[in-house]
Amino acid sequence: MECIFCRIAEKRSSARIVYEDEHALAFEDINPQAPVHLLIIPRRHISTNLELTEEDNRLVGHLLQVANRVAAEKGIAGRGFRLVINCNPEAGQTVYHLHLHLLGGRTMHWPPG
Ligand code: 5GP
Ligand code: ZN
Q: What is the pLDDT of residues 6-42, one digit of tens each?
A: 999 999 999 999 999 999 999 999 999 999 999 999 9
pTM, whole model, 2 decimals? 0.98
Mutation test residue for ligand 1: of 87, 90, 95, 102, the one with most atoms within 8 Å of CB: 95
**Can you tell me the mean pLDDT for 63-69?**
98
Is position 109 annotated as part of the catalytic site?
no
Q: What is the pLDDT of residue 113?
A: 81
Euclidean distance between CA atoms 93 and 86, whole angstroms: 5
Banded model confidence at residue 56, pLDDT cuts 50, 70, 90: very high
Q: Which ligand is nearest to the CA of 5?
A: 2
Per the CB < 8 A criterion, the answer to whether 25 and 40 are in contact is yes
Banded model confidence at residue 110, pLDDT cuts 50, 70, 90: very high
Domain with residues 4-104, CATH architecture: 2-Layer Sandwich (3.30)
Cα 75 off chain centre by: 17
Q: Is the dihedral of CA 72, 75, 80, 86 positive or negative?
A: negative
**Can you tell me the mean pLDDT for 70-90?**
98
Exactly one of 37, 45, 97, 99 is catalytic; name it.
99
- 34: helix, strand or coil: coil
Percent of the chain with pLDDT over 70: 100
Whether the per-residue pLDDT at 1 is higher than 90: the answer is no
Mutation test residue for ligand 1: of 8, 94, 98, 101, the one with most atoms within 8 Å of CB: 94
CA of 107 to the centre of ligand 2 (A): 31
Q: Is the shortest distance between the CB of 48 and ligand 1 below 6 Å?
A: no
